[in-house]
Amino acid sequence: MERKIPNLKVEKSKPFLDLHKNGLIFIGPVGEKLLKVVDVILSKKGKDIVVIDLRNFEHITDFLVICTAYGSAHRKAIIDEIEEKADKLGISILFSDSNEKSQWNIVDMGEIILHVFEGFYDIEGLWIDAKQIKIEEE
């Protein structure tokens, strides 16, 4: 079964995630989680979505997903949707910071950590050596 999200495709025949000209190929359970997280962000109109592969670095997670929200209500809507759909999507949330007064919130899902910003922080610039893909909004 192949599922398309703007510039992404899923292939279940290979046991890894790799970077290609047309984007990341998401494989296996973590790949499925990444797709679900990206789906939720896109459904809530998150923008500037970037997936960063940190598996080759000594870090507390395998992947960072970064997105920008238009304001505090939008940021909260993205996080609330992830939290509400987590069980149904097979995603375990270890920690969620949904402080409405903050301009930067985090949802820790173990091998994936989601950062939702209000404004542009360019934290992906800190991981310039990591594989990255920008997800095109629909």
Instruction: Write the pLDDT tens digit of every residue in 32-46.
Output: 888 889 989 999 999
Beta-carbon contacts of residue 121 (< 8 Å; ≥ 6 apart): 104
* pTM exceeds 0.75 for this model: yes
| Structural domains of the chain sorted by starting position, each given as residue range(s) with its CATH number in brackets | 4-135 (3.30.460.10)
Other CB atoms within a 10 A radius of the CB of residue 69 amount to: 25
d(CA 20, CA 3): 16
Name the token pair of 116. 């939702």
Kindly report, residue by residue over 49-76, the tens digit of the pLDDT.
Answer: 999 888 888 778 889 999 999 998 999 9
**Alpha-carbon torsion, ordered 132, 86, 2, 5, to 10 deg:** -50
